[in-house]
Structures are given as C-alpha cells and as structure tokens.
Amino acid sequence: MKKDIATPARTKEILAKHRFQLKKSLGQNFLIDLNILNGIVEASGFTEEDGVIEIGPGIGALTEQLAKKAKKVVAFEIDDRLLPILEDTLSPYPNVEVIHQDVLKADLTDIITTKLNDTEHIHVVANLPYYVTTPILMKLLEDRLPLKSITVMIQAEVADRIAASPSTKEYGALSIAAQYYSDAKKRLHVPASVFVPAPRVDSAVLKLTIREKPLVHVTDEAWFFKVFHACFANRRKTIINNLVHNLVGKENKALAQQGLERATIDPMRRGETLSIEEFAALSNELDQLLNESH
C-alpha cells in the first residue's frame, strides 16, 4: 500500500515524477498535513453509505481520505494537467470518479442523479481555490441541490464573513446569503504552513449544514437578495440612502420609507445592524408596496 499523499515527501515525489508546475492563476496550494485532512473529514460527518462531491482535488490528498470513508467520491478538476496524476495517485480507490470540468458550469443535479443515486446522503467536501470561493458556494446553495452539508477549507477571512453575526465588521451580504440557506459554523483554523506552496494567508474549515427550508420566509427570493445587497452597497450609508441609491430610485423614496416603517426599522440604521429576520420583513413589505404602486 502506498504511503498517504498528504506528506511533504510524497507530495514532492508526485510533483517531481509528473514534472508538474503549479499555476498561480488556479490557486494551487497542496495540503501536506494528514491531521488537518482528518479534521476536515471528521467535521463533514459523512458515513460509509454517503456520497461526496469534491471540488479541485489537486493531486488527490483530500480525495484519498474521502475515498477511504465514503461510498463514492465524485471530484471536479478543471486543470487537465492534473488528470494523469490523479489517475496514478487514486488508482487504489475504485470508488472515485474524476470529472474534468469547471464545477461552475456543471449540471450538478444531473451528476447527483446519475452518479450518486445509490448513496444515502450527499455532502460537498473541498479545499476550495480562494479566487472562486464565493461563486462556488453561492452556486451550491442557490441551486437547491439535495445536499446534507458543505464542508470547505477557505480563506480564514471569508469563513469569518460567512459565519458572522449582525453588528460585526465581518457581517455582510455573504453572511446573509449563506445563513439563509444553511447553518454556518467555523470548525478548524488552518495555518498557511501546512500547504505547498504556503499561501499568504491562513485558512479555516467552515461547515454549512443545509437547512430543510430557508431560515426566513420571503415572498420573492430574488428580490430579498437584491434588498440586502443594496443595503450593504455602501457600508457608511444609512439603510434609506442605500435603498434609494442602489435599488428603488429617488422617485420611490417615500415608498422605501413606508416599507421601513411597516417593518419597524429605523431608516437611519446601517445595513450591518439588521438581522436576517429584519431584512426578510423589509423585503416583504417593499415587495408588497411596489406591487401595489404599479
């Protein structure tokens, strides 16, 4: 049995054997710490009856640990230069399938139906490239996939933003979007030193447990997203100013004020002080008022 991939010596050996040159543009940093990998697997909480989707397997360090415990692993890799390496490193694991595709362009519903239909629950577990963290997470959440959880290693600062509470400097549109669909908890701090090459910032493992239904009821989901994004567009501005400048226009200022009044929100507050429940109330009131005025 080959030694685990996630050690400094084995990672070096694999990269040298395949003469692999890292691409900065793809955010390639390979994990060389088994304890961290085991921590990610443990945090995700999947069982041997479950299926796992991985994004950006690299040379297979995390994939290998997932394959040892999951029923099936489907991994998306965008870099075709890594495909022969993965074929080599993952050859002992017949329960892994690598798909050469950008996950942002993939039909994940179809992949789940065709490739993971014999698994009990489906989880996403991944060490995400920093530069596409937000679009990938939002796609996974907004596509309403039948997922039980998403456990990802991401930039520590982004993990703080996603798991943030109101009235903190980290709290923003990303916090609300993620918490609307899931319960977000930071699970592990990961120092830059456990990667090759070491990134400039530390990482964190974040677990999103998918809610059976969104945290709050909104009459129009797309509108709700527009409302809170508008309220965070300029953090120094009051809610009323942000709504007027970024959403409803000056001609609808009175209507925006009425919506805030109905939702019992002081128009002089700033976006980061509002809870997700307050944003939902505001969105629903504005939605009703705008429909009535047309």
Q: How far apart are CA 98 and CA 86, in angstroms?
A: 8
Please check whether residue 90 is in contact with residue 62, taking contact to mean a CB–CB distance below 8 angstroms: no
79 is in an annotated binding site: no
Report how many helices (DSSP H) and strands (DSSP E) the chain contains, helices first.
Answer: 12, 9
Query: Beta strands of 136-292 (E only): which ranges?
Result: 149-155, 182-190, 195-196, 203-210
31 is in an annotated binding site: yes
| Residue 224 CB neighbours (<10 A) | 25
260: tokens are: 């805030």
Question: Is 202 buried (19+), middle (13-18) or exposed (0-12) by CB count in 10 A?
Answer: middle
| Residue 9 CB neighbours (<10 A) | 9
127 is in an annotated binding site: yes
The single-letter code of the amino acid at 91 is S
User: Would you give the distance in Å from CA 7 to the centre of its chain?
Assistant: 26
Torsional class of 27: left (φ above 0), alpha (ψ -120 to 50), beta (otherwise): left
Output the CA–CA distances (angstroms, integers) from residue 50 to 36, 80, 121, 167, 247, in the order listed: 21, 27, 5, 38, 43
Residue partners of 99: CB distance under 8 A and separation at least 6 = 74, 75, 76, 77, 106, 111
**Do β-strands 72-76 and 51-55 pair in parallel, antiparallel, or remain unpaired?**
parallel
Task: List binding-site positions.
Answer: 29, 31, 56, 77, 102, 127
Task: List binding-site positions for S-adenosyl-L-methionine.
Answer: 29, 31, 56, 77, 102, 127
